[in-house]
């Protein structure tokens, strides 16, 4: 996969070529096809900014000392190998449910801190297998508070609103099937992570760079020393140091004042109150971003520290800023030409009410290998998924949820996110990549069963 799967931008260009040729070959004119691309390319400007904020704000929040200290404190609780696995999985699952960006940033760190503390106590836990276990646990974000496709479909004005209307989160991530799937899968990850752990354990001390990260954080008794070094995996921006009081200018006093940022905290809290209690609206992308923006200011205390963290976080968001527009152009060829109907008709002969979730998950797995972003994948597959769901007599929500299974299946079996996690943990991704396939299989089987037979 690493040798032959191109990067996401190159893939979007290849998809553009394929879909353009397909559109013309099934009878659409060249001008009509060009017009469809024209309509699609910039139709998601607002959504792109929303997704960028989700990633940036989660990285800012994950960079706070409070989050790091919380994980280290939890790592000191277990006293057996099973407890280590269970507590680590539960911690990662909660983080993933809150935000996918946090799970990407903190998942490898959870593995590092828990494995180091376990080794210190003489508890044998395989570091590489723990990394894979928590990568599996991180899958829960697909039905969590930052699930890209469900949040998009719950936001008024989304690109499929005329076809599906606005989907309440109660019908997607909070549907009975989704909730049951999350609980069962989390238990399955704990059991699998404990039972299938290699008998020949490779302790974290065998991996010098990873061990150094753990030592720097866990052995530090002074909270103020819990600051990133040049090798910190989250690449946090340096903490904004307050100049001596005697040298502070008026501008600096404002930047470091908690009272100033307190005004914004009150304003953001007021926005949330108005959204949920006055307008009586549900959680959507804008509300989620407001919650995380509020939390970022609360934890960073002042504008200066927030700005420093923001500078480091923005660097990691560059792919989203461009990729979503390229995917939107490809989605335009599907949505505004007969191409969507053409692809939907290909699976009609074998699609039934019971085969539909499996086929949807399988197809989206293949697509996800080439498109390492859930939002981008839904843009391309959303219309086809909805049309096929209607053809076999199931809800569009069931189609969305089944597609999410395949989406993360692709994430687990492709090297893209494995490389990201490995770079944070400071190891070669090939060392633990194979273990991820175990949890990919568990995820796929349980997910297909859940969204085939459970209510949603």
The domain locations on the chain are 18-216+317-453
Spatial separation of the C-alpha atoms in residues 376 and 370, rounded to whole Å: 11
pLDDT attached to residue 399: 95
Angle, vertex CA 158, rays to CA 286 and CA 170, nearest 5: 70
Spatial separation of the C-alpha atoms in residues 192 and 85, rounded to whole Å: 10
Average pLDDT, stretch 208-236?
Answer: 60
Give first-to-last CA distance, the chain, whole Å: 34
pLDDT attached to residue 237: 42
Spatial separation of the C-alpha atoms in residues 102 and 316, rounded to whole Å: 13
Predicted confidence (pLDDT) per residue in 316-364, tens digit: 777 678 888 888 888 888 878 888 778 767 777 788 999 999 999 998 9
Burial class (CB in 10 A: 0-12, 13-18, 19+), 113: buried
* 208: pLDDT strictly greater than 80: yes
Q: How confident is the model at residue 232 (pLDDT cuts 50, 70, 90)?
A: very low
Average pLDDT, stretch 155-182?
Answer: 93
Contact 67, 25 (CB under 8 A): no
pLDDT attached to residue 2: 58
The residue with greater pLDDT, 14 or 196, is: 196
Contact 281, 287 (CB under 8 A): yes
* 194: pLDDT strictly greater than 70: yes
Q: How confident is the model at residue 230 (pLDDT cuts 50, 70, 90)?
A: very low
Q: What is the mean pLDDT of the chain?
A: 87
Predicted confidence (pLDDT) per residue in 388-433, tens digit: 999 899 999 999 999 999 999 988 988 777 887 888 888 988 899 8
Predicted confidence (pLDDT) per residue in 1-16, tens digit: 556 767 777 878 888 9
Find, among 28, 40, 428, the residue nearest to 206 by Cα.
Answer: 428
The residue with greater pLDDT, 55 or 362, is: 362
Find, among 337, 452, 435, 356, the residue nearest to 29 by Cα.
Answer: 337
Q: Which of 74-88, 93-107, 207-221 has the lowest mean pLDDT?
A: 207-221
The percent of residues in the chain predicted with pLDDT above 70, rounded, is: 91
Task: Produce one character per residue of 322-349: b if its CB has 16 or more CB atoms within 10 Å, e if not.
Answer: ebbbbbbbbbbbbbbbbbbebbbeebee
Predicted confidence (pLDDT) per residue in 247-282, tens digit: 778 888 898 999 999 999 999 999 999 999 999 887
Q: How confident is the model at residue 223 (pLDDT cuts 50, 70, 90)?
A: very low
pLDDT attached to residue 1: 56
pLDDT attached to residue 228: 44
pLDDT attached to residue 275: 94
**Residues in Cβ contact with 444 at an 8 Å cutoff, skipping those fewer than 6 apart:** 361, 365, 405, 406, 409
Q: Which of 127-131, 135-139, 148-152, 343-347 has the lowest mean pLDDT?
A: 343-347
Average pLDDT, stretch 91-120?
Answer: 90
**Residues in Cβ contact with 290 at an 8 Å cutoff, skipping those fewer than 6 apart:** 268, 271, 272, 275
242: left (phi over 0), alpha (psi -120 to 50) or beta: beta
Q: What is the DSSP string of 283-314?
A: --HHHHHHHHHHHHHHHH-SHHHHHHHHHHHH
* 445: pLDDT strictly greater than 50: yes
pTM assigned to the model: 0.77
Predicted confidence (pLDDT) per residue in 171-184, tens digit: 999 999 999 999 99
């Amino acid at each position: 996969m690493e040798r032959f799967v191109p990067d996401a931008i190159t893939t979007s260009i290849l998809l553009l070529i394929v879909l353009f040729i397909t559109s013309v070959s099934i009878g659409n004119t060249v001008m009509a096809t060009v017009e469809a691309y024209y309509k699609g390319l910039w139709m998601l400007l607002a959504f792109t900014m929303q997704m960028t904020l989700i990633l940036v704000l989660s990285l800012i929040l994950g960079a706070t000392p409070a989050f790091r200290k919380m994980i280290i404190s939890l790592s000191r609780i277990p006293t057996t190998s099973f407890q280590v696995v269970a507590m680590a999985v539960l911690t990662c699952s909660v983080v993933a449910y809150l935000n996918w960006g946090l799970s990407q940033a903190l998942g490898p760190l959870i593995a590092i801190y828990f494995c180091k503390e376990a080794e210190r106590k003489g508890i044998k836990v395989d570091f590489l297998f723990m990394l894979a276990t928590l990568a599996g646990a991180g899958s829960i974000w697909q039905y969590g508070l930052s699930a890209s496709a469900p949040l998009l479909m719950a936001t008024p004005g989304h690109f499929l609103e005329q076809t599906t209307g606005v989907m309440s989160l109660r019908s997607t991530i909070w549907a009975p099937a989704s909730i049951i799937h999350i609980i069962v899968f989390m238990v399955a990850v704990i059991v699998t992570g404990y039972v299938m752990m290699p008998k020949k354990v490779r302790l974290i001390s065998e991996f010098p760079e990873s061990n150094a990260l753990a030592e720097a954080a866990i052995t530090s008794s002074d909270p103020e020393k819990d600051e990133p070094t040049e090798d910190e995996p989250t690449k946090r921006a340096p903490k904004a140091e307050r100049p001596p009081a005697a040298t502070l200018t008026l501008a600096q006093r404002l930047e470091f004042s908690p009272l100033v940022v307190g005004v914004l905290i009150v304003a953001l809290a007021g926005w949330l109150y108005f959204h949920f209690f006055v307008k009586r609206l549900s959680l959507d992308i804008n509300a989620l971003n407001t919650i995380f923006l509020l939390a970022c200011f609360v934890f960073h205390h002042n504008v200066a520290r927030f700005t420093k963290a923001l500078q480091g976080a923005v660097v990691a968001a560059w792919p989203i800023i461009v990729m979503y527009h390229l995917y939107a152009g490809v989605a335009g060829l599907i949505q505004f030409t007969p191409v969507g109907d053409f692809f939907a008709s290909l699976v009609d002969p074998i699609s039934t009410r019971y085969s539909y979730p499996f086929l949807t998950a399988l197809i989206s797995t293949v697509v996800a290998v080439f498109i390492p972003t859930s939002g981008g994948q839904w843009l391309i597959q959303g219309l086809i998924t909805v049309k096929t769901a209607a053809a076999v007599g199931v809800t569009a929500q069931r189609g969305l949820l089944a597609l999410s299974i395949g989406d993360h299946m692709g994430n687990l079996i492709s090297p893209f996110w494995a490389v990201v996690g490995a770079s944070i943990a400071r190891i070669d991704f090939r060392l633990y990549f194979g273990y991820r396939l175990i949890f990919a299989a568990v995820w796929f089987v349980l997910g297909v069963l859940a969204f085939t037979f459970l209510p949603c």
